[in-house]
Structure 1
Amino acid sequence: MTTGPGALPMTVPAPGLPARVRIHEVGPRDGLQNEQGTVPTEVKAEFIRRLAAAGLTTVEATSFVHPKWVPQLADAEQLFPLVRETGVRLPVLVPNERGLDRALALGARDVAVFASATESFAKANLNRTVDESLAMFAPVVTRAIEAGLSVRGYLSMCFGDPWEGPVPVEQVVRVARRLMDMGCDELSLGDTIGVATPGHVRRLLTALNEAQVPTSALAVHFHDTYGQALANTLAALQHGVTTVDASAGGLGGCPYAKSATGNLATEDLVWMLHGLGIDTGVDLGRLTATSVWLAGHLGRPSPSRTVRALAGADASHKE
């Protein structure tokens, strides 16, 4: 049965879970980067403002990648000044030192590098081996830290790779350890093609702890290809992880992994967390309205089940 607007889940806390979770919202960057039609810069800026107004404290704004690789994000220089004073953390992706220079020139305070746990994806995404890509990131991380910025390391293909199949846990740990040794403050573990299951998640998190990567430095980034994103998130929460990546309305996938069908929807995550009594600071109603508004600009309904339930079957109309 479809619930009405403003409906909230019944709160029934479960033992052993964190009291608060920080949602790392990736919609404006990871969510929009694959859109075929160009989304106007002002629409992106308004999207970010609405996400901040809904209570999200970390909103990944854009990427300073070369425009020919991700045309949708070619307006990074125009977008960032429009949202710089939003009052929330606005991380940006920087693929190399040139990208870092561009981010620094605009006053960015939080940056991220994007590495791969597998050779196949490193070659497809960065046209480099894993070692070559890490060598490229090292001066970026060093310079960012020297400039007083926080640095997040994304690690993709942590659970499975479309070319190589299941990824050995020790292989992921090895690359993760190198990113942490570079000086990354936080490491986001990406299930880029959505093949992870809860036991696999627990095993990887435990192995990272054994390699002296603390849980407090870890975030999780699940795709919902096989419907496992929330189950995997719960497994991570039970392990003590308190930072979860999600994309408003379930936008996004991965341009270099065709089987990656979409990020975990922020609304679906918030519904589960609030039902568990976990504080997020997010106003679910305002967040849902934001995704309905954006769906109108994109010309299609949101794939988020929570958005559809709260806003009605057709979430494609403009607010």
Structure 2
Amino acid sequence: MDALFSGVGESEDDEDRDVTFKSSAEFKPQAPRTTPPREAKGRRGSVSSVSSSSAPAGTDPPSEPPAKRHRPAQDRRRSVLARKEYSELAPDELALVETPGRGVMSWRQYGILLKFAPGTANAIEQTTGFPDYAPNLSKTTELEGVRARWDPPLFKVLWDSAPWDYMFQQRLKFLILHSADDLSARARSDLVDIVEFMWTHCRTFWLIGHLFFIDHHRDDYSANLHTERKKECDAVKKNYKKLLDDKVRGGLPESVLEEPGIWTFPAKCCFWVWMDKSQFDAQGRPFALTEQLRIVDKLEPARVQ
């Protein structure tokens, strides 16, 4: 089965596959069944406890009007740091990654206020195993905090490193749930076609698994990247769905699509929170995005399938 999975895209440099986003700016990266059928994640129930960060109790003085008092039930739905305004966060609190406990609906990661990702027209629940959160931009201060993280020059370094190629090279390359000997020649050929698609469009799989915030008002490059990313992701997801549907209609056992080596597009994009520039690595420099990527992929490995 090695020939089906390990030989695709590893001995070639497909320039067409990595064509960059078109832009008039100087810095120019490119221009269901949507996915294998994965069981939807169950409703949020028992989850890990919140970070042990400390914060003041926030009890209002007796003279405060009753309407201004913090409601205990409301506080229980917010993590320790989510009860603070963004401007009130201390530098060490900007380095924390909170994990929502039972009933918590709002928490912070590297200072950014998060909530569970809202449902879409095609999905209410996230695909099992994938991150299920998005920025909570209900306040202007929170929106500005997210916008401030977008840094085109910093991003260019990451983009030029083509992390999607590494993601493809490190994928699972063998069948786990099936035996190649039990599959027909047609089914094995279908698998090759699917892996070829994954190789050709591995950047799109990476983008959807690492949805970073783009301040498209920043400059022409940012605006173009924001637009072209959406176009690429929408088109590739649609084409992948058609490919898989066609293969199943042609006789490919649907259970083959459950193989871990066959990539899936999650029902919702997986947001990636970038660190605040006040956070430094062991050398005393702001964390490069390549290092931040390594960290988030280790914490949430479903992003890289």
Larger Rg over CA atoms: 2
* Greater percentage in strand: 1
| Greater relative contact order (CA < 8 Å, ≥ 6 in sequence) | 2
Q: Report the TM-score, using the length of structure 2 for normalisation.
A: 0.21
Q: Report the TM-score, using the length of structure 1 for normalisation.
A: 0.20
